[in-house]
Amino acid sequence: MDGSLESNPKLLIAAQGINKALNSRNILQGIDLEIEEGQIVTLIGPNGAGKTTLVRILLGLIAADTGAVHKRPNLRIGYMPQRVQLESTLPITVHRFLRLANPPSNKEIEASLSQLNITHLAQQQVISISGGELQRVLLARALLRKPHLLILDEPAQGVDIAGQAELYELISEIRHENKCSVLMISHDLHLVMSSTDEVVCLNHHVCCHGKPDQVSTDPAFLELFGANVSTNLAVYTHHHNHEHDIAGEVKSSDS
Amino acid sequence: MISITELLTADFFIFALVAGLSLSIVAGPLGSFIVWRRMSYFGDTLAHSALLGIAIGLITGGNPQLSIVISCLLLGALLVYLDKNPSVSTDTLLGILAHSTLAVGVVLLALTDSIRVDLEAYLFGALLTINSTDLIWVVVIVAVVAAVLYRYWNDFLSATVHAELAVIEGVNVERCNLFLVLLIALTIAVSMKIVGVLLITSLLIIPPAAARKFSESPEKMALLASMVGALSIILGLFSAFYFDTPAGPTIVVFAALFFLATYIFPSVQKN
């Protein structure tokens, strides 16, 4: 990937040459990533591949060791974190939780609740709602930012299978209705394939990227993911030009 | 025996009552934050180390109230710094600091034999001996703490509910954390005369713990906590006077009774 915010006016965010080590283990090596207006980019890769670390760097929550993240000026990002666990001693309704963002008007909150079909949850305690409902509440809070870019870290985690397809459909609708780009980490490739513009396969470095059908044209691929919806290990059958050793370092590269 | 009307016209009692009730206004919301953020041990450490502040203030001969306030603020900032750059686990660090600062404070106070110090008054409070200067300090500090809490309420809450979301939404979470610790430090500094360093954390966390079950929102929990705190102070003060018990511990006993009572009453929370 080359180009920068100057040469490509459609770019929202561009990461260049990101390296990050945590506890002296290389988590990310030479990552380049670009997201354009209206694009849905899906980040896949095995557990521990550095997906969440990369997202946290893009969000500015942690700093990269080397490399740079360029953002379009005044870029608003909505973020839906993974595995939110709220303090049980803190009583807070869904409505009040959403009001923490910014804070938005009641009208905006109601619009966002109804877009996500969770109007009935408004006066419920956040700690008492189900995992799938919580994901929608978090999505609502991210949308209240009126984001140009929505970053979702495993949005369907803890959601049942029927709910997962619905949630991804919702995300796809949001992209059009709210006119925002989406970067998401997902293991449910069979569900996100149809709406994803670009798949980035990450395992400490970018193994490959491209349109979903380029990344995987193998029919066994879809079948594999279809048969393994519950697993959170992404398995893909495209051909790598290198191998990883047990620590995830690249053993050989002949490209 | 002195009648209630006489008691309510006695300066010392009015001073004590106003000081205690002022404190409960900020103790409710601040204590709620301590409960939500699981900082009670942190508050304890801050309170224990405040005794060191008193000792330093007495030795240097500065204004005692001012030196307590300044040393509490410095210790609060130091704790935030140590917490961010840990060499041992936070839990261990707090355990070391809480007791070593308390010990050093007591030793220093004992060494300064030129000054007569009533150690018990600092450890357990001496609310009924509060004078007009003490009262002014309490009221001014409470006003400052209340103003900052009001101004940054949404930010403090957002940083407490989910720090990362707060950062992304533009809240300066690190500043919020520092401010909250400094507010707690200030409150502890003026509470010393009221309930003493050993009991102040209980007056901060017991009322919110009692209020939790009856609250659907953070604001209601903070408000109810203030009310429980105020009631404990009123009941504690009268009882302390009529039964000749120390005021600070008596107030804490009432707060604890309120907490126990919440186990007897059924929860009103719908969900």
A100:B35 CB<8 A: no
Angle between helices B132-151 and B173-191 (to 10 degrees): 160
Residue A251 backbone phi and psi in degrees, to 5: -80, -45
B217:A96 CB<8 A: yes
Looking at the predicted structure, is the pLDDT value of residue B99 above 80? yes
Tens-place pLDDT, residues B148-203: 999 999 999 999 999 999 999 999 999 999 999 999 999 998 888 888 888 899 99
Residue A17 backbone phi and psi in degrees, to 5: 55, 45
Question: What's the pLDDT at A203?
Answer: 83
CA distance B225 to B28: 4
Least confident of A128-137, A177-186, A235-244, B46-55: A235-244
Could you tell me the pLDDT band of residue A225, with boundaries at 50, 70 and 90? very low
Q: Enumerate domains of chain B plus CATH numbers.
A: 4-260 (1.10.3470.10)
Higher pLDDT, A64 or A248: A64
Question: What's the pLDDT at A214?
Answer: 67
Task: Dig out the tokens for B157 from the structure.
Answer: 């809450």
Strands A206-210 and A198-202, by their bridges, are antiparallel
Question: What's the pLDDT at A242?
Answer: 66
B215:A84 CB<8 A: no
CB atoms within 10 A of CB A110: 15
Across B121-142, average pLDDT: 89
Burial B217-239 (b: 16+ CB within 10 A, else e): ebbebbbbbbbbbbbbbbbbbbb
User: Which class is A1-76+148-159+179-238 in CATH?
Assistant: alpha beta
Mutate to test the interface with A, among B160, B169, B216 (most CBs of A within 10 A): B169
Could you tell me the pLDDT band of residue A126, with boundaries at 50, 70 and 90? very high
Angle between helices B218-243 and B247-264 (to 10 degrees): 130
Distance between B211 CA and the closest CA of chain A, angstroms: 10
Residue type, B179: F
Could you tell me the pLDDT band of residue A255, with boundaries at 50, 70 and 90? very low
A152 three-state secondary structure: strand
Task: Dig out the tokens for B47 from the structure.
Answer: 């309170």
Tens-place pLDDT, residues A196-218: 888 888 888 887 777 777 666 54
Question: What's the pLDDT at A103?
Answer: 72
pLDDT, mean over chain A: 81
Question: What's the pLDDT at A218?
Answer: 44
Across A68-73, average pLDDT: 91
Is A125 part of the contact surface with chain B (CB cutoff 8 Å)?
yes
pLDDT, mean over chain B: 88
CA distance A101 to A146: 11
Lookup result for tokens 């979903």 = A212
Looking at the predicted structure, is the pLDDT value of residue A219 above 60? no
B253 three-state secondary structure: helix
Question: What's the pLDDT at A217?
Answer: 57
- Range ranked top by mean pLDDT from A209-213, B63-67, B117-121, B149-153: B149-153
Question: What's the pLDDT at B257?
Answer: 96
Mutate to test the interface with B, among A56, A97, A100 (most CBs of B within 10 A): A100
Distance between B233 CA and the closest CA of chain A, angstroms: 24
Question: What's the pLDDT at A230?
Answer: 32
Looking at the predicted structure, is the pLDDT value of residue B51 above 80? yes
Question: What's the pLDDT at A168?
Answer: 86
Task: Dig out the tokens for B64 from the structure.
Answer: 């005692």
* Chain CA centroid to CA B226, Å: 12
Our CA dihedral for A9, A14, A16, A22, rounded to 10 degrees, sits at 170
ipTM score above 0.95? no
Maximum C-alpha span of chain B: 62
Least confident of A57-66, A233-242, B18-27: A233-242
What share of chain A in percent tops pLDDT 70? Answer: 81
A237 three-state secondary structure: coil
Tens-place pLDDT, residues B233-259: 999 999 999 999 999 999 999 999 999
CA distance B258 to B220: 17
Residues of B with CB under 8 A from a CB of A: 35-38, 154, 157-158, 160-162, 164-169, 208-209, 212, 215-218, 220-221, 269, 271
CA distance B254 to B238: 11
B117 three-state secondary structure: coil
- C-alpha distances out from residue A74 to A71, A148, A149, Å: 8, 9, 11
Chain A contacts of B169, Cβ < 8 Å?
A: 100-102, 145
Q: Judge whether A248 and A49 are in contact, CB under 8 Å.
A: yes
Question: What's the pLDDT at A216?
Answer: 60
Number of H helices, E strands in chain A: 8, 11
Tens-place pLDDT, residues B202-239: 999 999 999 999 999 999 999 999 999 999 999 999 99
A43 three-state secondary structure: strand
Lookup result for tokens 């209980």 = B202
Question: What's the pLDDT at A240?
Answer: 53
- C-alpha distances out from residue B15 to A178, B137, B146, Å: 59, 12, 20
Lookup result for tokens 């495209």 = A238
Q: Judge whether B236 and B188 are in contact, CB under 8 Å.
A: no
Residue among B158, B164, B208 minimizing CB distance to A61: B164
CA distance A12 to A34: 8
Residue B18 backbone phi and psi in degrees, to 5: -65, -45
Task: Dig out the tokens for A115 from the structure.
Answer: 């877009």
Tens-place pLDDT, residues A15-45: 999 999 988 888 999 999 999 998 999 998 8
Mutate to test the interface with A, among B154, B155, B168, B268 (most CBs of A within 10 A): B168
